[in-house]
Every structure is written in C-alpha cells, then in structure tokens.
Amino acid sequence: MTFLNNPEALKAVVADRNALLRHLEAADTAPLLMVLVHLGGDPAWLGRIAPHIKGPWSFHDETPAHVRAQLCEAVADVLADYAVTVKPLPTTPPMELLPAMLDACTGQHVPAEYYPLVLEELDLAGVDPKTVHWRQPPSPERIADFSVLVVGAGFSGVGMGIKLKEAGIAFTIIEKNAEVGGTWYENTYPGIGVDTANHFYSYSFDNNNNWDHFFAHGDQIEDYIQRNVERTGLRDQIRFGEEVLSLVWDEDRLMWRADIRRCDGQTYTIRANAVVSAVGMLNRPKVPPIKGLDSFTGPKFHTARWDHSVDYAGKRVGMIGTGASGMQVGPAIQPVVESLTIFQRSPHWAMLNPLYFETVSDAKKWVLNHIPFYTKWFRFQLFWSSSDTFHHNLKVDPDWPDQKRSLNAENAKVREQLEAHIAREVGHDPELIRKATPDYPPYGKRMLRDNHWYRMLTEPNVDLVDEPIDRVEPAGVVTADGTLHPCDILVLATGFETRRMLWPMQITGRGGATILDRWGDEDPRAHLGITVPEFPNFFLIYGPNTNLSHGGSAVFHSECQVRYIMQGLRELVETGQAALEVRPEPFWDYQEKVDNAHSALVWAHPGVTSWYKNAAGR
C-alpha cells in the first residue's frame, strides 16, 4: 500500500484505534521507533528506547512491555494526526536526527560514511533512486539503434532487464533454462531455502511485505522472481532454452556478435551494442574427481540436479559434502531415510538464528503492509544486521596470539559462542564435537545457518564420516581406512565450478584478446568486479571478487552493479560514443587494492580452503 499522496489509505489504518494497537503489538520495536521519529520528529523517544535495543536483530530487543505499549500508543497518535490534518507524510526522516536514529535502530554505531548509502537503500520517497535517469533526453535515433544483450535470467538478469526496460533501452535476455530464476530454478533439493533474511534478500524496488517466512523456501523465491517478470512484462524479452556459445567484439561495427544455440541445437547470431553477463557463479555443478564414482550402481546425482523420481524414503543415502547445500539436504531427508552417511572433508561453521524457522504472522504482515515506512526501516535493520556490522570480525590482528583458531578478540568470542552451541546441540558428545568443529577461524568459509544440522548428527541413523574418501565402488563409498560404507543412493553436495567464471562461453574482445587468455583457467579479474580492459561494452554482474563471503545479500550487490552498468550505458547513449572500456591503470590499481585488503582478511588464512579462492590462494 502506498501512503504518499493517499490520505484515504491512512484514514483506513487509523479508523479503528483498538485494532491498530492490536496489530502494532506484532511490530518490531526498532522499525516502529523509526516510524515514530521519522513522522513525529521527537528525539526524546530515541533516548527512551535506544538503551533497550541491544543489536540489529529483532531478538536483540529488550524493551520493557510497558514502554513498548507507550510506543504503540504514540505511533497510533502520530498516524491519527496525519490522517486528521491530511498532512503529507515527510518522505525523508529529520536529517538532523538521522545519526541517532540509525544508531538506535541497530543498537550499534552506524558510521557517517554509510549515510548516503542508507538513504539510497531506504528509498523512502517511493521513487527508486537506483533507476537511471537521463541527464539529457537521448536522441530518438540513438536510443532506437542501441541494444543490449543480457545473458541469464536469474535474480540479476531479471533485475537488469527491469532497469533497462524502465530506461527504454532495447534488450534481449538469453536464458539456458526453460524458466527464470537461475539458481532458484535449478536447485530444488529437499530443504532448499535462503540463509539471508528475505525482507532484505529481495529487490529494493519491490519490497515484498507478504513473505511467509523470514528465511523463505526456494520455491517462494522462485515465485517472487517470476512475479517480478510478470509485473514488469519482461517475459517477452526473454528467450528461453537458448545458450550463448560465444561472444566476439566486432571491431569494424563496434558491436558484440553473439552465437547462440537454440534448444533444437540450431545456432544463430545476434548483435548488440553492449553485453551484460548475469550468468551467476553457482550454476555449473562440480562433480568431484573421486576414483570409481561412475561405477556406483545406485542413483547418483548432484544437489543442483536433484532427481525427484528417486524415492529416498527407507534407503541408505550417502552424501558427499557439508556446505550450504549439504547442510540443508541432511536435516530434510534424515527423518525418512534408513541411514544417512555424511562424508565430510572439512566442517563448516553454522550459526543459530532464532528467526530461521519462524513464520511471519498475519499481524506482522499487516504492519509491513499498512504502517508507513515500516517496511523500509525493517529492511534497513536487516541490511545492517547482515552486512558490515561484523566486518571487524574478519580482520587479522597481527598481535593476536591464537592465529590458527581465530583472528582477533571479537572473532575469538564468536568462536566461543559457536563452540558452545555445537557442544549443546550434540549433547556434549566429545567425538561428535571434534568432528563437527572447524579448526579454522569463524567466517573462513561462508558462515552457514544451523538448521538443526548438529541435532541431526546425533540421530541414530546418521553417521558423520570424516575419514577421507578413497574411492567409490558399485555398492558404496570406501574411505581411506578401507571401510566400505554401503549406500543405495549417492548425493553429491559438492558445490560448483566457481573458479571457471563465464565458462563455457568463449569470449573474444578487442584485438582478439580472449577471456581465457586474460584470466587463465581460474584467475578472473575485473574492475569493481564489473569491467575488463580489452572487452569494451562488456559488463559483469556477480563477477570476480564480488562474492559476499561474510554476509550481505546477493540481490543488494547485484542491484549496485546494475546501477553502475546503467550509468555506463547512459554514458554511451547520451554521448553517442560507440564503446566504453575500463583503462588498465584503474583496473590494475583495483586488483592491487583487493589483494592488499584480502591479505589481512580471514579468507587469506592459510588454514582455510573454500570455493572463494583459486589454487594460488587468490
């Protein structure tokens, strides 16, 4: 519901004060406090409530019930005042109060350098500031002649398409699958869901106030992406079941030429002024080079290619891999399988989040839908709780004595909490604690959510095997100690070919330079993760070094990149220039900056192996 310029909507909200107060009981304190100060401008409320907000998640709120009740009354009063006097709602909060508001909302100090980003991300005025606006109207001939090819219709490709459409730029999206959604279309394994809170893991320009869960299941995210496609009429611009085989920069025409294979195997060529790769990083399943894997006689499949024709109930299932995918599959299938043997090469850290299994109550959905600006402030709170709030945790303190297990005092504290959680969950079983506890610092690999993984490990039909795998035989998996672990079904939860970025597309830029020449098999580099010298008018979304390793939302990152790309395209259209390319100096400066920063961060830790790094540790 939009309240700006809609006094009737606000009148309906305040019409029944008792009903309003009942609904407000379901609101989280911090975003509700923000609404009150935003609309009422009274800083005294910050002083009263801020001391009770101990952190950026709703479960960090310790506000006493009677103070909360007063807050709800005050919000009802201020809304009634706007409704009765028919005053327009202020789109921006009182700027002089913004620093104190952000600190109160998160229970932490939000540094001033974040203010512009916060205001933009909050998008309070309801006019998406991330939409590129023409500085001067592009000439009709120029824009009519200009076209963009987008590769991939996942979250990023669809977001790119929506912004291109808004700008009136012609584009085509090529999608290898039969539907949009990318990773959310392909991954359908039991237990699939997201580990980033959804009110943040969604487009900023389409806040969904009706998520059923704080952490949605895979099919609900797929539905959300599809809804955005329908809402914006994007489907007509997407060619499904087609794959871009190669991209070549045509130096005579100063355009890209793309060779595309249709689902019937026929190929055709199209040309575009610019190309945006939105192919993602997590979509080419990695099949581990384990001896004898093909000799296994039972069903065997990768998590991203889950075979739903196979009934795993009552079967002996072997699962290789304990990353984010494996950690979701395990607890989902354990209750019905005869046995689950988990082959773990190295354990992951997994953190408890009390909201992980929670559903969003109808009253909370009502608040999200009806209280002006609540959803924006709630999103900001999640943005902060999921992002840089714990960046200091990731930095190596050179004076820290216990470098193998943790990086600094804060990181050690997190380790202690995680260890205590594991011990509690596995019933203080010393052998399980040993197997399930990583020897590297927290955040070394992507931090996972504990979805009852540890509790599952204690079930009698589960065996966590940390002996290395020697080979696979027709009847099961043999570990290095010579034990055969018999399996009826083998699940490969072994991740993706993340290092071979853009593979298997063949991409040739200016002067015949190929991406393979420049990057080798596994050393991708781009300026800001987006542009590459010698590859004019070529942009990447979710390119090199743009992974969110410690938190964040891939959708937020992708939107930042879309905005940058839109600015590049605007430059081309408005100036009439044919090509735009990053210069080598800023490109190499950026590489140096990234490498220097990483040398002091957790991912460079010698004890950490992860899909973020190549064989050289970069």
Structure tokens that stand for 389 in this block:
């709030």
**DSSP letter for each residue of 438-473:** -SS-TTSSPPEE-SSHHHHHTSTTEEEE-SPEEEEE
Which range binds ligand N01 by CB under 6 A, 259-267, 332-340, 399-407, 489-497? 489-497
Calculate the alpha carbon distances from 419 to 457, 603, 617 in Å.
15, 20, 27
Task: Please state the closest distance from residue 378 (CB atom) to ligand N01, in A.
Answer: 20
Torsion sign across C-alpha atoms 292, 293, 294, 298: positive
Binding mask 307-346 for ligand N01 (x = CB under 6 A): -------------xxxxxxx-x----------------xx
Binding mask 82-121 for ligand N01 (x = CB under 6 A): ----------------------------------------
Distance CA(278)–CA(40), nearest Å, equals 43
Q: Which of residues 587-616 bind ligand N01 (CB under 6 A)?
A: 609, 611
Distance CA(374)–CA(34), nearest Å, equals 8
576-602 burial code (b ≥16 CB/10 A, e <16): eeeebbbeeeebeebbeebeeebeebb
Q: Which residue in the set 190, 288, 299, 586 belongs to the binding site for ligand N01 (CB under 6 A)? A: 288
Closer by beta carbon to ligand N01, 440 or else 538 = 440
Residue nearest to ligand N01 (CB): 323
Which range binds ligand N01 by CB under 6 A, 221-229, 282-290, 374-382, 523-531? 282-290
Q: Which of residues 448-487 bind ligand N01 (CB under 6 A)?
A: 469
Calculate the alpha carbon distances from 274 to 81, 145, 151, 153, 355 in Å.
51, 12, 11, 17, 42
Contact 335, 190 (CB under 8 A): no
Distance CA(378)–CA(9), nearest Å, equals 21
Distance CA(8)–CA(29), nearest Å, equals 26
Task: Please state the closest distance from residue 125 (CB atom) to ligand N01, in A.
Answer: 31
Closer by beta carbon to ligand N01, 469 or else 560 = 469
Closer by beta carbon to ligand N01, 56 or else 326 = 326
Task: Please state the closest distance from residue 326 (CB atom) to ligand N01, in A.
Answer: 6
Task: Please state the closest distance from residue 401 (CB atom) to ligand N01, in A.
Answer: 26
Q: Which of residues 169-198 bind ligand N01 (CB under 6 A)?
A: 193-195
Q: Which residue in the set 316, 446, 485, 527 belongs to the binding site for ligand N01 (CB under 6 A)? A: 446
- Per CB under 6 A, does 438 bind ligand N01? no
Q: Which residue in the set 283, 406, 494, 553 belongs to the binding site for ligand N01 (CB under 6 A)? A: 494
Closer by beta carbon to ligand N01, 286 or else 376 = 286
Distance CA(126)–CA(200), nearest Å, equals 16
Q: Which residues pair with 339 in a beta bridge?
A: 316
Task: Please state the closest distance from residue 279 (CB atom) to ligand N01, in A.
Answer: 15
Question: How many chain residues touch ligand N01 (CB under 6 A)?
Answer: 23
Asked if residue 504 has a cis previous peptide bond (ω within 30° of 0), the answer is: yes
Contact 134, 257 (CB under 8 A): no
Distance CA(118)–CA(111), nearest Å, equals 11
Binding stretches for ligand N01 (CB under 6 A) = 193-195, 282, 288, 290, 320-326, 328, 345-346, 446, 469, 493-495, 609, 611
